[in-house]
């Protein structure tokens, strides 16, 4: 299989950049899968469902390729935090996350040679609380609005990182080393 036969089912610039650490020979196709979960779905189940759906949607049109679908969800106190809907939602999320350990789950599904290979990586993160002025300054930027949990650890929020346990790249949205190992193991690299 040629390396150019790898497709990342994502339009995320962060995932594209991280995928470049695995191989430069890949393409990106957005899945356009609506992210709708049945009631009672846990945060972990949610990201696993969406990763599989994204992978399947793109793999249906590219059966000869290795297709990678991913989804990241931030979980705090049992609540799944996706991308904030608006400024008030971002404010609520940041207040919830500050000073409370939370989990970042990234599910990855790879469709290759008629088989689906899936795993989920989880990283525990603790952010320092933000003061009211800091919080208002942060949510007035564009940074929180296209990210699960209203933050990207690689951006301004890095100032508030107390500690992290697990894969840093997972918090960015792609567990690089586990995906690289999986792709090699199944013969896609």
Instruction: Please list the active-site residues.
Output: 71
* Angstrom distance (rounded) from CA 24 to CA 117: 21
Among residues 70, 73, 71, 172, which one has the least CA distance to residue 111?
Answer: 70
* Angstrom distance (rounded) from CA 101 to CA 105: 13
Question: Which phi and psi angles does 159 have, rounded to 5°?
Answer: -65, -20
Long-range contacts of 137-145 (CB under 8 A, 24+ apart): 138/94, 139/87, 139/90, 139/91, 139/94, 144/84, 144/90, 144/93, 144/94, 145/83, 145/84, 145/90
The answer to whether 49 touches 37, Cβ cutoff 8 Å, is: yes
What residues are paired with 70 via a beta bridge?
108
CA distances from 65 to 23, 111, 132, 177 (A): 15, 8, 49, 21
């Amino acid at each position: 299989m040629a390396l150019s036969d790898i497709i990342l089912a994502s339009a995320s610039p962060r995932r594209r950049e991280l995928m470049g650490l695995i191989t430069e020979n890949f393409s990106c196709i957005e899945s356009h899968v609506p992210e709708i979960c049945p009631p009672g779905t846990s945060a972990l189940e949610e990201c696993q469902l969406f990763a599989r759906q994204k992978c399947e949607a793109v793999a249906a049109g590219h059966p000869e390729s290795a297709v990678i679908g991913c989804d990241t969800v931030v979980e705090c106190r049992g609540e799944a935090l996706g991308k904030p809907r608006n400024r008030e939602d971002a404010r609520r999320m940041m207040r919830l996350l500050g000073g409370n350990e939370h989990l970042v789950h990234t599910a990855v599904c790879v469709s290759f040679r008629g088989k689906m290979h899936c795993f989920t990586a989880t990283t525990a993160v603790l952010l320092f609380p933000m003061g009211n002025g800091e919080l208002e300054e942060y949510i007035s930027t564009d940074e929180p609005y296209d990210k699960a949990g209203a933050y990207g650890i690689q951006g301004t929020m890095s100032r508030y990182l107390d500690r992290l346990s697990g894969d840093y790249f997972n918090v960015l949205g792609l567990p690089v080393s586990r995906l690289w190992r999986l792709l090699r193991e199944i013969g896609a690299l």
